[in-house]
Amino acid sequence: MRRKLVAGNWKMHGGLSRNRDLLQSLAQAIGAGGGADYAVCAPFPYLAQTQTLLNGTAIAWGGQTLSEHAEGAYTGEVSAAMLADFGCRYVIVGHSERRSLYGESNQTAAVKFVAAARAGLTPILCLGETLEQREGNVTEQVIAAQLDAVVETAGVSGFAGAVIAYEPVWAIGTGRTATPQQAQDVHAFIRARLARRDAALAQRVQILYGGSVKPQNAAELFGMADIDGGLIGGASLVAQDFVAICRAADQ
């Protein structure tokens, strides 16, 4: 049995006082740990605050992206080592918003994945198709290309210390969740594709689902054979909702 992980992605939301309330509520409700692992991915300026408030709890934290470079003249960028300096365990790589709004390619995701792993962080690699791609019946080709680019750069062994998140773009922030079976089918496809290179490793990799996960649908999604937890956007900003989703993963 793979352990489940529920990770919150705050995206560009929050502020000092709102974060304090949220983090204190989470620490109180799930900070002692449970049957699953928990994490929150905060905007860069709030990582120090997140570290202070979650230190010593069972809730890990991480960044939402990182630079592919280790150091240098890259104004505005944040390196993997900087995230590690603030106690991050995770970093999201290749989120669909990074791909669509900031021009990140499959290759960009691959080099960022390697940069994260090199600094001892656990990359959460996001894969997902657009509505147009799903309707055009190219979901598997899209996912395969996104995954293969990282496997070719990092090696399949790079996934020993990584997490994958399947996030169909059409389900992100839309309230339109993939059905448990739609998600399961893609999760099984991802695992099978990794298994062609390393069957034992593929069985161990956590594959999260993301896209309009709510307390109302979390348990059913997490009950599917290849869904190992969730990457949560909107609902991760509401303590009660995030805690309920974490509890669904504890089962």
Binding site for ligand 13P (CB under 6 A): 9, 95, 167, 172-173, 210-213, 231-235
CB of 65 to ligand 13P, least distance (A): 11
CB of 70 to ligand 13P, least distance (A): 25
Burial (CB count <10 Å: 0-12, 13-18, 19+), residue 12: exposed
C-alpha pair distances (Å), 219 with each of 138, 139, 148, 166 = 28, 25, 30, 17
Match 């062609």 to its residue by tokens: 196
Question: Which CB, 14 or 137, lies closer to ligand 13P?
Answer: 14
CB of 212 to ligand 13P, least distance (A): 4
**Residue nearest ligand 13P, CB atom distance:** 233
Tell me whether residue 77 is one of the annotated catalytic residues.
no
Question: Which CB, 122 or 212, lies closer to ligand 13P?
Answer: 212
Q: Which of 68, 95, 104, 129 is catalytic?
A: 95
Question: Which CB, 109 or 213, lies closer to ligand 13P?
Answer: 213
Question: Which CB, 118 or 176, lies closer to ligand 13P?
Answer: 176
The beta strand positions in the chain, using DSSP E, are: 5-9, 37-41, 59-63, 90-93, 122-127, 163-166, 206-210, 229-232
C-alpha pair distances (Å), 126 with each of 9, 99, 112, 161, 250 = 12, 10, 12, 15, 23
Tell me whether residue 71 is one of the annotated catalytic residues.
no
CB of 172 to ligand 13P, least distance (A): 4
Task: Please say whether the beta carbons of 225 and 184 come within 8 A.
Answer: yes
Residues with active-site annotation: 95, 167
